[in-house]
Structure formats: C-alpha cells, structure tokens
Amino acid sequence: MTTSTTSKPPDPFRWPAPWAPKHPDRIQLYSMATPNGQKVGVALEELGLPYELHRIDITKGDQHDEEYLRINPNGKIPSIVDPHGPAGPLPLMESAVILNYLARKGGGLLPDDERLYWETQQWLSFQIASVGPMFGQFGHFFAFARDKTSDTYALERYTAEVRRLLGVLDRRLSGRTFLVGEQFTIADVATFPWIAGLSFYKAQDHLGYAEFAHVVAFVERCLARPAVQRGMKVGA
C-alpha cells in the first residue's frame, strides 16, 4: 500500500500592517541592534543580499504586537520574510535558521567542504545553546537586576559560566583565525556580537576578559570587516 502526500500550499501572505514594506521585492528584516539582532544584519551585509529594515523596538514592546506575532509567533527578534521564498513569501524566525537560509541563498558564509560545514553547524549550535543564553543571563543580573535579588548567587553562577564559555572559545581559537579555520562563517557571525556586547554591560573587567587573548583578537578581526561594521549598525 502506498500513501501519496501533497504539501499544503501556504496561507495567503499579508505583510504586518505597522511595518508595510516600501520595497516588497527585497528580503524584509525585522530586527534591532542587539547581539541577537546584529547577527542577521551582518549576514545580509556580508552576503550582499538586498533587504529592507523594519526596526522592532523591543524596549517599547513592538515584538508583542499581534501583527508582528504573525511572522514570529515567539515574539522575539530577529525575523525575516523572503518574498521570493519557496512557494511564495517565507517568514522565518530563530537566528540559526535565518543564518543558514541566508547563507544558502547568498552562496557564502558556509564552507563547501562537508567536514567544515558540519563543524560550522556545531559551533553555530554552541552559540545558540550556550553563549547566547548564558551571556544574556549574565548581562541581566550584572547590569540590570542587582537590586532585585537578595543574594549574589545568580551573578556568581553566570559569571562563572561566561568565563567557562570564554575559555572554550579561547581554546578553539588558538591557532585559528575564525571558529572554523580561515573562513568567516555563520558560526562567527552568530558568536562575536555576544562577546562584543560585554562592553555594553561594562563587564569586561569583572570577567577578566583580557585573559582570553585569542577571543579578544578574534572579536577585533571580526569587527575590522567593513560589512560587519555596516551590519552591526542595522536597527540601531
């Protein structure tokens, strides 16, 4: 017995009303210049893909707008809509998915070698699962919530974990220009904004950031790239 399956056509797409595109033929980016948002701005600039920015101000709650939730049900940034996606406009959330999609579409930021491709996915996953969440929690308790807890447990916990993660990255970057050898990939795009963001929290001295010399040099190399400099400002 065989079962035939047909893919359901996507629902008719409607642009979120508060952020109507002026250039609907371009990739629509919904973001803000946070470490998570900067990833996609950098990738778009590195790949040279035409896009239109819609600034989602998370300090004002734009991410919870019902119109925005139609393209990002999780109410986070960044999001994109590719008007030329498979079978029509394609909304995407979650930065790892977006970075992979853009890299494939733009033909860059991913190694051709299969082994290096999977190493890139490994270090991208490391950022998503560890660096982003732990750096974010550290920043919250270090910069914003010191007067909201009765003890120092949370800050001590996340300080120790961020230092551990910096150590993992420092060992990985010893003898390498980027996380996967000599090629700048989506793993680097995802990771360095979170490390650079430690300066926003004014936390580098607290963490002993200068001890991680390979990480320091890596971030400097990333920030020296012209496309990175443009991408970091997207949504500022």
Tens digits of residue pLDDT in 199-225: 999 999 999 999 999 999 999 999 999
pTM of the model: 0.92
Q: Distance between terminal CA atoms of the chain?
A: 57
CA atoms of 100 and 96, how far apart (whole Å): 6
Tracing tokens 């919904």 back to the chain, one arrives at: 30
Query: In the predicted model, what is the mean pLDDT of the chain?
Result: 94
- Residue 130: the pLDDT is 98
- Residue 148: the pLDDT is 85
Q: Is the dihedral of CA 235, 96, 219, 222 positive or negative?
A: negative
DSSP string, 17-74: GGG--S-TTSEEEEE-SSHHHHHHHHHHHHHT--EEEEE--TTTTGGG-HHHHTT-TT
With CA atoms as reference, report the closest residue to 132 among 175, 107, 161: 161
Q: Which residues have C-beta within 8 Å of that of residue 132, sequence separation ≥ 6?
A: 35, 36, 190, 194
Return the DSSP state at 4.
-
The tokens describing 81, both together, are 């809509």
**Amino acid at site 111:** P
Q: Are 30 and 77 in contact (CB under 8 A)?
A: yes
Q: Are 235 and 55 in contact (CB under 8 A)?
A: yes
Tracing tokens 């359901």 back to the chain, one arrives at: 8
3-state secondary structure of 9: coil
Which parts of the chain register pLDDT below 50?
none
